[in-house]
Amino acid sequence: MPVMLRRGLQREDVQGYLFISPWLIGVVVFFIGPMVASLVLSLTDYSIIAPGLSFLGVENYREIALDPLFWKSLGVTAYYLALDVPLGQVGSLALALLIHRQIRFKSLFRTILYLPSVTPIVAAASIWLWFLQPRFGLMNGALGLFGIDGPAWLASREWAVPGLALVTLWGIGGARMIIYLAGLQGVPEELREAARIDGAGVWRVFTAVTLPHLTPTIFFNVIIDIIGSFQQFSVAYIATDGGPDNSTLFYVLYLYRNAFNYFRMGYASALAWIMLLLLLAFTLVQFRGARRWVYYGGA
Amino acid sequence: MLRNRIGLVALAALVWCGLVPALAAAEKVVFWYRIGAAEFEWIRDELKPRFEAEFPDHELEVVHLSSSRAEADQKILIAVATNQHVDVVRTNPEINLTQYARQGTIVPIDEYAAVSGLDTENYYAAAIDMLTVDGKLYGLPYTALPRPVLWYNDKFFAGSGVAAPSADWTTDDWAAAARNLRVDSDGDGNPEVFGTGYSMSDVEVEMILNGFGGGFLSRDGTESLAGTPESLAGAQFIYDLIYKDNSAPTGDQMEGSLHEMFGSGRVAMNIGNYWNRNFYKAQMGEDDEFKMAPLPAGPLGRFQQYVAGCLSILKSTRSPQAAFEWIKYFTSEEINREYVEKGFNIGTRPAVNQDPQFGDDPFVQQFLPIYEVRPYNLPVWPENLRRPQYVELVRNAIERMYVLGEQPADVLPDLDRDITRLLRQRSL
């Protein structure tokens, strides 16, 4: 039995609870409460605008299973995730390695690389719309210099998702890079030094010493990145609004449309719960797999 | 004793301080408007002070909603659901007024109209009819007009031997003129001038399909027409303008929007609306270069949709009487004349549109004969239709055909299936 229960609630216990009560109330009111409400709503036809609601049981979930746009949005999100996560991780790690070196103007480079990630997404997406314009855009202009006839990017079903991935990859110098930088600073310099004395080259030092020590950081970044990519919304909402032909209909964009364009709050709540379960399953699988490749020092 | 007296005096002072401002405060009218920036600025900077001077006990708060119709609808419905203080909103009878009226989102204004002695005879009768749902009047119009029209740039017709569009044009005349006006001097398949633009709007494409005897939805709104041979013929007509004749730009040949291409002289004709005039004027500068004609008639005749912009009182109003005063003021003859004069749109009263004051305005003069072209296509939205989803489906199909170049014969059966599925689903 916990000590506190054995001896009864003391004055300082009450004070402690009082101190954390703003946080507790916040969690219950703004987090647990809405979650429970959305679970209940997912079993109804609640629409905000129509008076009353009817209990539907699992009807919304059954409709989702038969909804072609649900599967389409899931496919689009998976495709984006497959492009964005590996490229984003490799890119931000490469930048972190560059910045980690002892070079002049290191702080300046770090600031410049970080800048895109603090640019408002609306501004970034609007600029990239012009970069990726098929006829006059800088991207196809640059490709044209090498004799490559560039694609229609955001106006093409095949290239719209890679185009949006480019927009978000522009910000690889952001939080991911900073976390990698912090991870790199935790790699023991004496181990690298020892490897070099033993005759290991740059690549060998990286793969045999740096990378294993970075695996907890990689693991953290990958988990966060997968969740973030699955929740991608703003870029598609601003740049393509899901088009052309739903080729950029991300899962969260479809959820948003159901909730706030079609006012199908019950259906959108069911979509949200499916997303939560998918992410939970994905994350658990990764934690299971992590035992094989993540190295936590002497553990 | 003294303490009690001081307390009483303090209490009286507090009550006085609270009551006097409350009694003296002007009644606030919160007006949510969804329209272009120029129109909004005119209301905020010019009309608001004049209205407040005329009604000193009213204070007008003008809020610019998003220019996106879907976003504006979203905000209005959420305002009602949360009982937010909003008195007057813009509604469109061809889009949301009937639905809003039946949901109770907006309130009838007959009572206020009767008390104020408003004479609805001064408005176009068709516009008033459109605002009447189940025998009750749900707003007053400030603009009412048929859409769409065929805009054309006169400089491409002058000296080309191609006759300019007229009221008796058919879709065949339109296609032939577009082919003749196309200019591809270096023959690289990428014309310098395209003969015509087209429309990506669900409403306007449907008007063309109606001319071929087709459409997306039946007139009573109970079944899909997207899969009929007539709809296919209409959709194929536009597709051929783009991908067979290349007299209209393909998705890859687009440089900005079709309106921008027309405004910059890359397209000789374009499907648009009266309200595009200020945009074109800003791009071209010269009034006499671009003109308008009625939408060409299809094999089964000409169809145009009658649309209106109007103001209604929202359910969450705090002051319906003050809200009505603002609506009456905004749709009054004087303000409506000013509205037309500024070129925002066509008026809603015959007395305004036919005013000799507009005798020199080429746009008003061109539009009045178009106003008389009938029949108008008044849309019927069935109550069981999830309209925003329906519009999304139709727009997606239009994009597949005209931007991505998929054959209408491949796209329309999918659309037919999707609309039919939607019509069978529960209503909201």
Angle ∠(B360,B363,B367) on CA atoms, nearest 5: 115
Round to whole Å and give the CA distance between A209 and B401.
56
Place of tokens 């041979």: B229
Per-residue confidence band for B220, with pLDDT thresholds at 50, 70 and 90: confident
Q: Nearest CA to CA, how far is A241 from chain B (Å)?
A: 11
Quick one: A270 exposed, middle or buried, by C-beta within 10 A (0-12, 13-18, 19+)? buried
Kindly report which listed range (A207-211, B9-13, B310-314, B354-358) carries the lowest average pLDDT score.
B9-13
Are A260 and B251 an interchain contact pair (Cβ–Cβ within 8 Å)?
A: no
**Residue A5 pLDDT greater than 70, yes or no:** no
Average pLDDT value for residue range A36-44: 95
Residues 145-174 on A with a CB inside 8 Å of B are 152, 155, 157
Quick one: A200 exposed, middle or buried, by C-beta within 10 A (0-12, 13-18, 19+)? middle
Q: Count of residues for chain A?
A: 299
Is the CB of residue B103 less than 8 Å away from at least one CB of chain A?
yes
The closest of A253, A259, A254, A268 to A43, measured between CA atoms, is A268
**Residue A261 pLDDT greater than 60, yes or no:** yes
Q: Is A93 left (phi over 0), alpha (psi -120 to 50) or beta?
A: alpha
Average pLDDT value for residue range A48-69: 88
Residues in B closer than 8 angstroms to A268, CB to CB, are none
The minimal CB distance from B399 to the residues A135, A243, A260 is found for A243
Predicted pLDDT at A134: 85
Place of tokens 């049981």: A57
Report which DSSP code applies to B289. Answer: G
Is the CB of residue A281 less than 8 Å away from at least one CB of chain B?
no
Mean of pLDDT over chain B = 87
Per-residue confidence band for B10, with pLDDT thresholds at 50, 70 and 90: low
CATH code: domain B147-305+376-424 is 3.40.190.10
The minimal CB distance from B81 to the residues A48, A135, A244 is found for A48
**Residue B76 pLDDT greater than 90, yes or no:** no
Average pLDDT value for residue range B404-424: 94
Predicted pLDDT at B380: 60
Structure tokens at A287: 């934690």
The minimal CB distance from B70 to the residues A49, A50, A261 is found for A261
**Residue A270 pLDDT greater than 80, yes or no:** yes
Closest Cα in chain A to B83: A49
Helix (H, G, I), strand (E, B) or coil at B57: coil
Predicted pLDDT at A298: 60
Whether B139 contacts B97, CB under 8 Å: yes
The minimal CB distance from B251 to the residues A155, A262, A264 is found for A155
Residues 239-278 on B with a CB inside 8 Å of A are 251-252, 254-255
Q: Nearest CA to CA, how far is A168 from chain B (Å)?
A: 23
Residues 261-280 on A with a CB inside 8 Å of B are 261-264
Share of chain A above pLDDT 90, in %: 65
The residue that leads in pLDDT, A113 or B417, is: B417
Closest Cα in chain B to A44: B428
ipTM of the shown complex: 0.74
Are A155 and B403 an interchain contact pair (Cβ–Cβ within 8 Å)?
A: yes
Round to whole Å and give the CA distance between A71 and A246.
11
Is the CB of residue B424 less than 8 Å away from at least one CB of chain A?
no
A188-205 per-position pLDDT tens digit: 989 999 999 999 999 999
Encoded amino acid at B393, one letter: L
Are A244 and B403 an interchain contact pair (Cβ–Cβ within 8 Å)?
A: yes
Is the CB of residue A17 less than 8 Å away from at least one CB of chain B?
no
Share of chain A above pLDDT 70, in %: 97
Name beta bridge partners: B196.
B269
Residues 49-68 on A with a CB inside 8 Å of B are 49-50
Per-residue confidence band for B312, with pLDDT thresholds at 50, 70 and 90: very high
| CATH architecture designation of domain B25-144+307-370 | 3-Layer(aba) Sandwich (3.40)
Quick one: B163 exposed, middle or buried, by C-beta within 10 A (0-12, 13-18, 19+)? exposed
Q: Nearest CA to CA, how far is B306 from chain A (Å)?
A: 25
The residue that leads in pLDDT, B15 or B96, is: B96
Report which DSSP code applies to B170. Answer: B
Residues 368-387 on B with a CB inside 8 Å of A are 386
Where in chain B do CATH 3.40.190.10 domains reside?
Answer: 25-144+307-370, 147-305+376-424
Predicted pLDDT at A221: 94
Are A49 and B105 an interchain contact pair (Cβ–Cβ within 8 Å)?
A: yes
Per-residue confidence band for B286, with pLDDT thresholds at 50, 70 and 90: low
Round to whole Å and give the CA distance between B113 and B349.
17
Please spell the DSSP secondary structure of B319-377, one letter per residue.
-HHHHHHHHHHHTSHHHHHHHHHTTSS--SSHHHHT-GGGTT-HHHHHHHHHHT---EE
How far CA B10 is from CA of B4, B24, B90, B342, B428, in Å, comes to: 10, 21, 47, 55, 55
Encoded amino acid at A79, one letter: Y
Are B404 and A134 an interchain contact pair (Cβ–Cβ within 8 Å)?
A: no
Per-residue confidence band for B60, with pLDDT thresholds at 50, 70 and 90: very high
The residue that leads in pLDDT, A133 or B179, is: B179
Per-residue confidence band for B227, with pLDDT thresholds at 50, 70 and 90: very high
CA terminus-to-terminus distance, chain A: 31
